[in-house]
Amino acid sequence: MTNWLEDPIRWIAEWLYSVLVGWGILPSVADVILMITGAAILSTLALLWVLFLIWFERKLIGRIQDRFGPNRVGPWGIFQSVADMIKIFTKEYITPQGADKVLYNLAPVLAVASVLLIWAVLPFTRSIMGVNLNVGVVYIVAVGGGGVLAILMAGYASNNKYAFLGASRAVAQLISYEVPMVISLLVPVLLAGSMGLNDIVQAQSVPYLVMAPVAALVFFITSMAETGRAPFDLVEAESELVAGYNTEYSGLKFGMFFVGEFLHSFTAALLFAVLFLGGWRGPFVDQVPLLGLVYLFIKTMVIYFLIILVRASVPRFRIDQMMDLNWKVLTPLSILSFLVTAVIAKVLEGQFLFQVLGLLAGNVILLVLFMEWGERRNKRNRRPMVSQPRPLATPASDETSMAQS
């Protein structure tokens, strides 16, 4: 029996288990009941958390754009998204003519489920986590593929040209950005020697942000693109495609796409915190495991804040720019960073301090060289100006001579 002051959630779980077994329920059945309870609580909390995230983001973007943001419902408008949710619950579902009914209704469910499934393997503290899958990282990538499928289903089933174009763009973008994301995920796996997320956290006596900054940068950019948010929101570029893949959705079905998107960007921040910032690690976490939750939360919110900041300050990419960024910058950069990490980690194996410093130096040198190469390539490939430079307006010569004299 664990001490409840140290780890209350685990204590409650053990107490519940003993109560269930005491009722004469088979231990295996009691296990399953505990799992169902845990999964239901975790995913409900995740979905409710989105209400706060929506308010937080609207408020923050309001402030960045010199507005107030929501400020009417409750203190600082904090219940704004609750009011919105109640409203959206009473809105009619409008199914467009000629829609593929099955795919049309399945898509919003899958959009949320694919994000929620990632939460099954996230380590919140040393002991509070769904499950430490030994293929955790691959699982995350695989489940993330469900989101792409949901967008494609939504766009295809809507029987709408804007939705279809949005969906095909989405698929091109999301699958392209998956390549550098997976390669940058390989770096922490290589350094930790395991794919389980809790093992990766436990291996980070030095956060991997220090040991693999290039991979962290690539992961940050690509996970932002995977969530389909600005500046990568070509999927629902409202100036070109009305609303992209969810043009024909209304009511809570639209709301589910919205929830899925917000939850996805928060989950991306969580994943970054787990993989590169040391997750629940921090001072005194061995004595009080619950502190890990606080550390993870702070790290996640910092990253989430950064994601919102990028969203608020960077204009949307054009699609060819976005593809170029992925295939001509991020993919070679991530492959090279993986190479550098593998070589340095093997050569300096055994001396931990030298390994950390060597990896940091190698990454910085790689980044500098790569940017220099990109700069040269840009100079070489710069398009010639189509129009001649306009002749500058020059004052009449007699006036200039008068002014000079």
Partner 1 sequence: MLTAWLYVGIFLVVAVLLPAVAIALAGILAPKKSNPIKTSVYECGIEVVGPARVQIKAQYYIYAMVFLVFDVEMVLLFPWAVAFKQLPLFAVFEGILFLLILLGGLFYAWRKGALEWF
What is d(CA 316, CA 253) in angstroms, rounded to the nearest whole number?
26
**Of the residues 120, 234, 268, 269, which one makes contact with partner 1 according to CB under 8 A:** 120
Going from the C-alpha of 27 to that of each of 12, 72, 108, the distances in angstroms are 16, 51, 36
Query: Ramachandran region of residue 63, left (φ > 0), alpha (ψ -120 to 50) or beta?
Result: alpha
The footprint of partner 1 on this chain (CB under 8 A) covers a number of residues equal to 90
Q: State in angstroms the smallest separation of the CB of 65 from partner 1.
A: 28
Determine if 137 is a binding residue for partner 1 (CB under 8 A).
yes
Nearer to partner 1, 56 or 164 (CB): 164
Closer CB to partner 1, 184 or 285, in the complex: 184
What stretches of 117-241 show up as alpha helix (H) in DSSP? 136-157, 161-192, 197-203, 208-211, 213-226, 238-241
Q: Which of 114, 105, 103, 115 is nearest to 152 (CA)?
A: 103
Among 97, 287, 388, 394, binds partner 1 (CB under 8 A): 97
Q: Taking the complex as a whole, how short is the minimal distance between the CB of residue 387 and partner 1, in angstroms?
A: 22
Residue 16 interacts with partner 1 (CB under 8 A): yes or no: no
Residue 186 lies near partner 1 (rule: CB under 8 A): yes
**Site membership for partner 1, residue 348 (CB under 8 A):** no
Please give the distance of CA 379 from its chain centroid, rounded to a whole number.
33
Tell whether residue 47 is a contact of partner 1 (CB under 8 A).
yes
| Binders of partner 1 in range 138-157 (CB under 8 A) | 138-139, 156
Residue 376 tokens read as 């040269």
Q: Is there binding between residue 105 and partner 1 (CB under 8 A)?
A: yes
Q: Identify which range of 161-169, 276-284, 303-311, 364-372 contacts partner 1 by CB under 8 A.
A: 161-169
Compute the least distance from the CB of residue 364 to partner 1, in Å.
21
Cα 272 to Cα 263: distance, rounded to the nearest angstrom:
14
Considering the rule CB under 8 A, would residue 132 count as an interface residue with partner 1?
yes
35 binds partner 1 (CB under 8 A): yes
- 381 touching partner 1, by CB under 8 A: no
303 binds partner 1 (CB under 8 A): no
25 counts as binding partner 1 under rule CB under 8 A: no
The piece of 61-69, 274-282, 285-293, 342-350 that touches partner 1 (CB under 8 A) is: 342-350
Min separation Cβ 353 and partner 1, Å: 17
Out of 67, 72, 346, 376, point to the residue binding partner 1 (CB under 8 A). Answer: 346
120 alpha-carbon distance from chain centroid: 16
The two three-digit tokens of residue 241, written as one number: 């495609």
Could you write out the three-class secondary structure of 183-210?
Answer: HHHHHHHHHHCCCCHHHHHHHCCCCHHH
What one-character DSSP code corresponds to residue 77? G
Per CB under 8 A, the list member of 26, 29, 32, 365 interacting with partner 1 is 32
CB of 4 to partner 1, least distance (A): 23
**Nearest approach, Cβ of residue 69 and partner 1 (Å):** 26
* Cα separation, 299 vs 42, whole angstroms: 20
Q: How far apart are CA 245 and CA 235, in angstroms?
A: 7
351 lies in the site for partner 1, by CB under 8 A: no
Nearer to partner 1, 108 or 207 (CB): 108
Q: Which residues pair with 129 in a beta bridge?
A: 123
Q: Please, what's the b/e burial string for 138-157 (b: 16 or more CB within 10 A of its CB; e: otherwise)?
A: ebbbebbebbbbbbbbbbbb
Interface with partner 1 in residues 192-231 (CB under 8 A): 193-195
- Give me the phi and psi of 320, to 5 degrees please: -70, -35
Q: Cβ atoms within 10 A of the Cβ of 48, count?
A: 11
Site for partner 1 in 238-297 (CB under 8 A): 242, 247-248, 251-253, 256, 259
